[in-house]
Every structure is written in C-alpha cells, then in structure tokens.
C-alpha cells in the first residue's frame, strides 16, 4: 500500500462563557511525531468531559440521501495502474476486478470509491442511500428502501467531547469522521464561520507537513504559469474551449454558452484562485486539461471533449437516465445512446482519425456531430 501524508484536524467546542468557569480551563497537547508538549491553550468548554455530543450523517431533504460529501470528484490516484497491482496493494476482493477495469482509465473518480479501496470494503459499501429505520414522519420518502437494513453510514457515529478533539486520516474510520465533521451543520467549517445559535463545534486546524505544503505551493505556481500562458500566448477561442471543459468538484461546468473573452479570463482566474477547500481539486483539473494541448495525441482528445461539451450545451445531446443521448440518431441503436462520456469520446476519436474530407460518400460520425453542433450555433473554428 502506498505511503501517504497524514492530515490532522481538530474539532473544538465553540467558545462560550460558563457560569462555573469551565471556559477558562486549559489543555496541553503532545506532538505525535516529536513527543514534545505543545503550548497550552484555553479549551473554551462549557461542560465537563463526560458530557458528549454525538453526530451522524444528515439526510439531505432535497435528495433523500445522506449528506456525506463522498460524491466529490477527485483526481484518480489509480489511473494507469495495473488492475492486479491495485488489488494486491489494497488487498481487494474479486468484486473489485470488473470495477477496476474501467476505473483505472478514468481521469477523476468519486471520493467514495477512493475511500472504499483504501478501506478494503466492497464497492458501494459507503453508499449515501437511505435504507431501513423509517418512522411515521419520513416513510413517505419514495426513494428510501425501508424494508432493507440500514447502511453502514446511516449507523456511523462521531462522539465529540467539550475539548479539542483530534482526528486524522490514517484509518478508514478517521477519514469518515473527517467527512462527517465537514458535512455536519452543527460544526462550523472554521472559526470565522461560527454562528453561536447553530454551531456547537468548529474545525480549528488542519495540518499539512512541510513537504506537502511545498508541493501544494508548487502546484499552485504551476497553475498560474499555465494561466498566464493562456492569457499571453493563446487565442480567445482556445481560452473559451478550456473554460467550457472545466468542472467544479460536483462535476458541473463553470460556464455554459458563449461569453465574452473578458468573462472567460475572469472565470479561469476565479477557478484556480478559489479561496476554499476546493482550490487544489480545481487546480489539478485545470492542469490536466491545459496540459492536453502540449501533446498531439491528447490535443485531439481535447478537441473531441470540447465538441461533446458543445453538443450537450446546444442540446444536440442530452444526459438522460444515465445515458448520453444523441437525439438525431435515435433510429440508430449503436449511436443513439452511450453509457458514459469516455466511451463516446473514444468512439469519436476513432472516427476523427478515419475522417477524410475528400471521401464525401463515406459517412463519418465525427463529421456528422461537428456539422450538427455548428448548425446549432456552437463555436467551432474550422
């Protein structure tokens, strides 16, 4: 299994004054690496240590699913690896083999999948579905499967004490506790976000090793280098293409429709300069896409991905029931539906390579899609 940097965060009680003076009590922590005492700090607690708070993953009323944050898309750390290597490194069961065949080809995967691999549990074990345990008030939710047993995450609990609570991502449970802390509405994201009428705790620190911090700074600098090259050396069309392909952590495109170059530049800048926990995911995605332009083979893929995105933006194609539907080809079974974007892009790359403008009598599906998108007003430079 790969060695990874450890992330640690502390969940502190929201400072409040206690009539008994508990908020003035102090604590001394120990650095786990050096064994040295760290300067004492005020606990800010308002209850004794045996008074605890227990939290679970909340149910999102809009989706009727658990609010876990595990649907976040991350850069795929297993891309390009041999399936047998992944299974061996993480001791995975045979149930993973078929999943990994596709997974090692993907640019981005769900955080849920990464957690499941690292924990050596079955695919889908960390599902956000709600099952079992219905009551008089919530059994009306049509998507809940009340006749089944509760899922692992439904029963997952975090107990916090009225003092600094240390959590690290060194274990499967620790990783899930971090997700629960970050997605629990009673816990503020940081000290500046505290609302005393809502929050009982806040995330006070998230430490990164010096090496990891330097890597992060280098990655940010790399992103800015590519950004300035785009501004100084590329055309408005190229900048627009890239902007159309960029997605946020939930997989949503940051722009849709044709916009002025000034707004494109502003969107690119905001994307890599996001002052939040998503900045590094944005930067990884940005660099992945912009570096495609430096490789002749990947540059073709870049153009095809852009064409597919324009097809979706201009309703030539639609995502429906888990498929990408090409509306004008509804009479052709092998063209009307694609199970995912990667398969569609691979198909169109093959068609692009076969395309010869002189063969006017030969149907080419890349050219068919190109002409249809352009007819609908998609920005395509011949």
Tokens representing 155? Answer: 């029963």
Place of tokens 């004054």: 17
Q: How far apart are CA 178 and CA 175, in angstroms?
A: 5
Residue 186 has pLDDT above 80, yes or no: yes
pLDDT confidence of residue 27: 45
Work out whether the CA dihedral 370, 373, 375, 378 comes out positive or negative: negative
Average pLDDT over every residue of 214-243: 93
Tell me the pLDDT band of 205, cut-offs 50, 70 and 90: low
Q: How far apart are CA 202 and CA 195, in angstroms?
A: 10
Q: Of 14-18, 167-171, 337-341, give the range with the top mean pLDDT.
A: 167-171
Q: Of 119-123, 257-261, 332-336, 359-363, give the range with the top mean pLDDT.
A: 119-123
pLDDT in tens, 49-107: 567 999 999 999 888 999 999 999 999 999 999 999 999 999 999 999 999 999 999 99
Average pLDDT over every residue of 21-36: 47
Q: What are phi and psi of 328, to 5 degrees?
A: -70, -10
Average pLDDT over every residue of 109-134: 91
Instruction: Tell me if 112 sits within 8 A of 150, measured CB to CB.
Output: no
Tokens representing 22? Answer: 């508990």
Average pLDDT over every residue of 140-159: 76
pLDDT confidence of residue 209: 56
Average pLDDT over every residue of 24-38: 47
Whose CA is closest to 120, among 166, 169, 184, 171?
A: 171
Instruction: Tell me if 373 sits within 8 A of 311, measured CB to CB.
Output: yes
Q: How far apart are CA 155 and CA 66, in angstroms?
A: 11
Record the pTM: 0.56
CB-facing half-sphere around the CA of 77: CA atoms within 13 A:
17
Average pLDDT over every residue of 254-266: 92
**3 state SS of 313:** helix
Q: How far apart are CA 163 and CA 169, in angstroms?
A: 20
Average pLDDT over every residue of 246-271: 91
Instruction: Tell me if 246 sits within 8 A of 253, measured CB to CB.
Output: yes
Residue 145 has pLDDT above 60, yes or no: no
Average pLDDT over every residue of 5-12: 85
Mean pLDDT value across the chain:
85
Q: How far apart are CA 125 and CA 265, in angstroms?
A: 41
Instruction: Tell me if 308 sits within 8 A of 316, measured CB to CB.
Output: no
**Greater model confidence, 142 or 266:** 266
pLDDT confidence of residue 340: 84
Strand-by-strand arrangement of the 8-13 sheet: 165-168, 8-13, 201-207, 187-188
Which of 55-69, 142-156, 254-268 is predicted with the least confidence, judged by mean pLDDT? Answer: 142-156
Average pLDDT over every residue of 300-326: 93
pLDDT in tens, 125-139: 999 999 875 444 444
Average pLDDT over every residue of 24-43: 47
pLDDT in tens, 348-366: 999 999 999 999 889 999 9
pLDDT confidence of residue 208: 54
**Greater model confidence, 262 or 149:** 262
Instruction: Tell me if 117 sits within 8 A of 78, measured CB to CB.
Output: yes
Residue 22 has pLDDT above 50, yes or no: no
Q: What are phi and psi of 9, to 5 degrees?
A: -130, 155
**Greater model confidence, 112 or 280:** 112
**Greater model confidence, 271 or 139:** 271
Whose CA is closest to 128, among 145, 140, 108?
A: 145
CB-facing half-sphere around the CA of 22: CA atoms within 13 A:
15
Instruction: Give the helix ranges, DSSP H, for 131-170.
Output: none
pLDDT in tens, 285-299: 999 999 999 888 899
User: Percentage of the chain surpassing pLDDT 70?
Assistant: 83
Q: Of 6-10, 24-28, 62-66, give the range with the top mean pLDDT.
A: 62-66
Angle between helices 279-290 and 210-233 (to 10 degrees): 50
pLDDT in tens, 192-202: 889 988 999 99
Tell me the pLDDT band of 32, cut-offs 50, 70 and 90: very low
């Amino acid at each position: 299994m790969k060695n990874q940097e450890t992330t640690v965060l502390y969940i502190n009680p929201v400072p409040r004054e206690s009539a008994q003076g508990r908020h003035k009590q102090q604590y001394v922590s120990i650095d786990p690496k050096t064994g040295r005492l760290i300067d004492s700090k005020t606990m800010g607690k308002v209850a004794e240590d045996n008074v605890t708070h227990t939290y679970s993953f909340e149910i999102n009323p809009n989706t009727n699913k658990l609010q876990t944050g595990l649907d976040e898309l991350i850069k795929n750390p297993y891309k390009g690896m041999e399936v047998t290597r992944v299974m061996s490194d993480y001791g995975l069961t045979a149930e993973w083999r078929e999943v990994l065949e596709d997974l090692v080809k993907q640019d981005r995967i769900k955080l849920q999948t990464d957690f499941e691999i690292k924990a050596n549990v079955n695919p889908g074990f960390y599902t956000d579905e709600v099952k079992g345990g219905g009551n008089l008030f919530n059994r009306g939710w049509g998507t809940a499967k009340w006749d089944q047993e509760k899922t692992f995450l439904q029963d997952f609990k975090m107990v916090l004490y009225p003092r600094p609570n240390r959590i690290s991502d060194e274990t499967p449970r620790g990783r899930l506790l971090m997700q629960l802390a970050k997605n629990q509405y009673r816990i503020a994201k940081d000290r500046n976000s505290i609302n005393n009428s809502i929050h009982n705790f806040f995330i006070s620190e998230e430490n990164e090793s010096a090496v990891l911090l330097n890597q992060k700074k280098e990655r940010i600098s790399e992103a800015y280098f590519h950004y300035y090259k785009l501004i100084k050396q590329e055309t408005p069309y190229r900048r627009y293409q890239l902007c159309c392909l960029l997605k946020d952590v939930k997989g949503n495109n940051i722009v849709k429709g044709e916009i002025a170059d000034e707004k494109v530049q502003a969107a690119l800048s905001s994307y890599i300069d996001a002052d939040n926990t998503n900045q590094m995911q944005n930067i990884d995605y940005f660099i992945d896409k912009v570096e495609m332009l430096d490789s002749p083979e990947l540059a073709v893929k870049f153009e095809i991905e852009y064409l597919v995105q324009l097809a979706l933006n201009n309703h030539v194609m639609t995502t429906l029931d888990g498929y990408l539907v090409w509306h004008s080809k509804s009479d052709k079974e092998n063209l009307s539906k694609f199970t995912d974007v990667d398969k569609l892009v691979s198909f169109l790359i093959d068609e692009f390579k076969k395309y010869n403008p002189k063969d006017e009598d030969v149907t080419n599906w890349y050219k068919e899609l190109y002409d249809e998108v352009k007819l609908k007003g998609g920005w395509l430079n011949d």
